[in-house]
């Protein structure tokens, strides 16, 4: 049975301006005059009623992604007949559960594969949130833990690099609330742009500038990055040793982390690659694998070198070096490559690259993936917003961790961190565009949905009296208005 939500009490009026009414969707509590919007541009006073400026977004998986948005009450949308598997009321445009004692803006009954379920939606305000950014490049962006700035304000820091990618951690409560007002505002603005898939200019202390945009190639010091490396230097040796055999006497794959040498590497040994008497300047880890051949930088393989010969020491004739010995030096993306032949003094001299070797360099480049920026929004949903879902907040946390309650952000699947609280991460490219907002506290606003079997919801002390069905929501809207749109998408 559908139960309508209790009508909202009248909004308080401003003591100074009776034409202004108060928005209580966040702690800022703006007084908004008729026809005006609040400080976040997300709520307005329309005819003496606080409304949400953006429409409620309903995802219909029967609509191909990218198909034109359908207006809420369009007669040709058969949402009323759709099943709960097809149609999903997202939290985008739903409004916010604030103060937290009241039920979430929409608590929707759904039939999912024959199971009576409930989806609770709210636009959650996150003071504790940030983004993790993965930037596919082997170029050195800056030292680990270096501050990352946007328009001069520190908004995060460099994290430990991952395989073929540089990582940034941006935002977090310390930057949002623990620094100056300017730092908090700039941090919030940076997070908002990144989460809504916009480009952001960042600079790293002691390093580079980089333009980051989710799903797009990074632009490092003004140059768009093209390729993510095929692997480290050692991995490249392992992948391509057999293809180089017979074409060249030695191969060095230059890499900031692990530089590989085929004649010494196990991948060369198992195919009886002869010794060459090469000597690499760097820390030898294991045979054919060298660390620290140069400093990190923008040159070959993420090092600072422009001349690859600078990492070679004198060649050793007693170990196989001889005039005429050929050497291929290549970076892990194939972006840099050079061919040398030892002269009578056992000094490498540059020579034109033989065609067969050129093809092997092209093969490295072809095996690289396109360089992209990945932005994961990360926030803690384990706080007071749980009261909008259930009267027993700890029960919701346990239900989420037991996978009886599913969490989504704008319909996109999330990763829920183990341990305490409901700390989630989501790929922002999976969330409909423009889904994130902000308030001036400063904090980010993100759509959040909890889907749970109705029996479990009732056992959790859920707000059963506020459960409504889709038809009722389409008909009457919610506390913050009745505008809505339908887009293609999935839960
Ligand atoms: S900042 Fe936005 S959400 Fe907060 S009170 Fe003002 S209008 Fe409402």
Q: Is the CB of 125 under 6 A from ligand 1?
A: no
Distance in angstroms (rounded) separating the CA atoms of residues 273 and 265: 9
Whether the pLDDT of residue 73 is over 60: the answer is no
Residue among 224, 257, 207 nearest 373 (CA): 224
**CA–CA dist 266, 273 (Å, integer):** 10
- Tell whether 173 and 187 lie within a shared domain: yes
pLDDT in tens, 100-153: 778 999 999 989 989 999 999 999 999 999 999 999 998 999 999 999 999 999
| CA 436 – ligand 1 centroid, Å | 14
The pLDDT assigned to 316 comes to 97
Query: How many of the other CB atoms lie within 10 Å of CB of 294?
Result: 21
Residues 97 and 115 in one domain: yes
Quote the domain boundaries for residue 102: 50-124+382-414+433-488
Q: Are the CB atoms for 262 and 250 separated by under 8 Å? A: yes
Structure confidence at residue 80 (pLDDT): 63
Query: Do residues 90 and 159 share a domain?
Result: no
Strand partners, 338: 329
Q: Distance between CA 333 and CA 380 in Å, rounded?
A: 38
Gap between the Cα atoms of 210 and 218, Å rounded: 7
Structure-block tokens of residue 196: 């809504």
- Nearest to residue 197, comparing CAs of 373, 356, 393? 373
Residue whose CA is at the smallest distance from ligand 1 atom 7: 38
164-205 confidence digits (pLDDT tens): 899 999 999 999 999 999 999 999 999 999 999 999 999 999
Residue-wise pLDDT for 358-395, tens only, equals 999 999 999 999 999 999 999 998 778 899 999 989 99
459 shares a domain with 386: yes
- Mean pLDDT for the chain overall: 91
- Catalogue the E-assigned strands of 53-135: 56-60, 70-71, 87-89, 106-112, 115-126, 129-135
Same domain, 146 and 110: no
pLDDT band for position 233 (cuts 50, 70, 90): very high
CA of 440 to the centre of ligand 1 (A): 8
- Which has the closest alpha carbon to 445: 41, 8, 156? 41
Whether 43 lines ligand 1, by a CB cut-off of 6 Å, is yes
> 139 and 194 share a domain?
yes
Share of the chain above pLDDT 90, in %: 80
Of 335, 327, 368, the residue nearest 239 (C-alpha): 368
Q: Among 159, 194, 224, which residue terminates a domain?
A: 224
176 near 337, Cβ under 8 Å?
no
Q: How many domains does the chain have?
A: 3
Between the CA of 29 and the centroid of ligand 1 the distance, in Å, is 6
Q: How far apart are CA 452 and CA 465, in angstroms?
A: 16
Q: Does some domain include residue 283? A: yes
- Is residue 462 domain-resident? yes
How far is Cα 357 from Cα 246, in angstroms, rounded to an integer? 10
Q: Is 327 helix (H, G, I), strand (E, B) or coil?
A: strand
Does residue 179 lie within any of the structural domains? yes
Residues 137 and 189 both lie in one domain: yes
Query: Whose structure tokens read 């061919």?
Result: 339
- The 10s digit of each residue's pLDDT in 454-465 is 999 999 999 999
Q: Is the pTM of this model over 0.85?
A: yes
> By alpha-carbon position, which residue is closest to atom 5 of ligand 1?
29
The last residue of a domain, from among 194, 224, 254: 224
Q: Check pocket membership of 186 for ligand 1, CB cut-off 6 A.
A: no
Taking residues 76-85, report their average pLDDT. 69
Please indicate, yes or no, if residue 198 is contained in any of the structural domains: yes
Question: Would you call 122 helix, strand, or coil by DSSP?
Answer: strand
Where among 224, 250, 265 does a domain terminate?
224
257 burial level (CB within 10 Å; 0-12, 13-18, 19+):
buried
The CB of 42 under 6 Å from ligand 1? The reply is yes
Q: Are residues 388 and 348 in the same domain?
A: no
Q: Would you say residue 281 lies in a domain?
A: yes
Task: Give, for ligand 1, the residue of 32, 50, 439 to mutate: max count of ligand atoms closer than 8 Å to Cβ.
Answer: 439
Please tell me if the CB atom of residue 38 comes closer than 6 angstroms to any atom of ligand 1: yes
* 19 pLDDT above the threshold of 60: yes
Quote the radius of gyration of the chain (alpha carbons, Å).
29
Whether residue 482 lies inside any domain: the answer is yes
Verify that 114 and 168 share a domain, yes or no.
no
Q: Which two tokens stand for residue 479?
A: 């506390």
On whether both 264 and 361 belong to a single domain, the answer is yes
Q: What's the rounded Cα separation, in Å, for the pair 314 and 430?
A: 53
- What is the C-alpha separation between 93 and 105, in angstroms, rounded? 10
Place of tokens 């195919």: 271
287 and 242 together in one domain: yes
Q: Judge if the beta carbon of residue 26 lies within 6 A of ligand 1.
A: yes
Q: What is the DSSP string of 298-312?
A: SSGGGBS-S-GGGGB
Q: Which helix (H) or strand (E) holds 181?
A: helix 181-195
Average pLDDT over residues 219-238: 94
Residue of the CA atom closest to atom 4 of ligand 1: 26
Give 23 Cα–ligand 1 centroid separation in angstroms.
Answer: 6
Residues 157 and 208 both lie in one domain: yes
Q: Which atom of ligand 1 is nearest to the CA of 439?
A: 1
Q: Could you tell me if residue 25 is inside a domain?
A: no
- In short, whether 53's Cβ falls inside 6 Å of ligand 1 is no
Residue 157 lies in a domain: yes
Measured distance CA(374)–CA(429) in Å, rounded: 8
Determine the atom of ligand 1 nearest the C-alpha atom of 37.
7
């Amino acid at each position: 049975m559908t139960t309508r939500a209790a009508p909202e009490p009248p909004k308080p009026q401003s003591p100074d301006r009776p034409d202004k009414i108060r928005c209580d969707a966040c702690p800022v509590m703006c007084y908004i005059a008729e026809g005006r919007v609040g400080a976040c541009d997300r709520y307005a006073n329309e005819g003496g009623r606080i409304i949400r400026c953006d429409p409620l977004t309903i995802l219909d998986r029967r609509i191909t992604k990218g198909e034109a948005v359908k207006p809420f009450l369009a007669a040709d949308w058969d949402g009323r007949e759709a099943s709960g598997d097809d149609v999903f009321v997202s939290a985008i445009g739903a409004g916010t559960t604030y103060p937290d004692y009241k039920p979430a803006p929409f608590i929707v009954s759904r039939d999912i594969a024959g199971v009576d379920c409930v989806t609770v939606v709210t636009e959650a305000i996150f003071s504790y949130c940030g983004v993790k950014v993965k930037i596919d490049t082997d170029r050195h962006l800056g030292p680990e833990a270096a501050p990352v700035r946007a328009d001069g304000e520190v908004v995060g820091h460099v994290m430990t690099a991952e395989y073929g990618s540089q990582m940034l951690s941006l935002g977090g409560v310390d930057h949002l609330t623990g620094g100056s007002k300017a730092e908090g505002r700039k941090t919030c603005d940076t997070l908002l742009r990144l989460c809504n898939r916009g480009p952001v200019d960042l600079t790293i202390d002691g390093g580079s500038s980089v333009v980051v945009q989710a799903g797009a190639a990074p632009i490092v010091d003004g140059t768009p990055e093209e390729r993510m490396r095929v692997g480290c230097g050692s991995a490249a040796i392992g992948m391509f040793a057999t293809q180089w055999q017979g074409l060249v006497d030695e191969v060095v794959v230059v890499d900031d982390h692990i530089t590989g040498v085929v004649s010494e590497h196990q991948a060369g040994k198992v195919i009886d690659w002869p010794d060459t008497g090469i000597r690499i300047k760097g820390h030898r880890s294991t045979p054919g694998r060298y660390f620290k051949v140069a400093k990190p930088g923008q040159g070959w393989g993420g090092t600072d070198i422009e001349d690859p010969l600078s990492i070679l020491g004198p060649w050793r004739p007693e170990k196989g070096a001889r005039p005429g010995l050929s050497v291929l030096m290549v970076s892990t993306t194939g972006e840099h490559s050079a061919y040398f032949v030892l002269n009578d003094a056992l000094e490498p001299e540059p020579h034109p690259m033989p065609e067969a070797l050129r093809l092997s360099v092209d093969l490295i480049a072809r095996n690289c993936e396109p360089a992209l920026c990945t932005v994961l929004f990360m926030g803690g949903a384990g706080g007071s917003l749980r009261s909008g879902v259930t009267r027993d907040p700890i029960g919701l946390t346990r239900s989420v961790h037991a996978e009886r309650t599913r969490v989504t952000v704008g319909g996109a699947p999330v990763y829920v961190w183990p341990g305490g609280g409901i700390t989630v991460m989501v790929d922002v490219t999976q969330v409909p565009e423009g889904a994130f907002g902000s308030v001036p506290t400063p904090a980010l606003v993100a759509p959040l949905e909890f889907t749970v079997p109705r029996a479990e919801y009732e056992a959790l002390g859920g707000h059963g009296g506020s459960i409504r069905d889709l038809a009722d929501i389409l008909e009457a809207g919610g506390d913050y208005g009745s505008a809505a749109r339908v887009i293609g998408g999935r839960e």
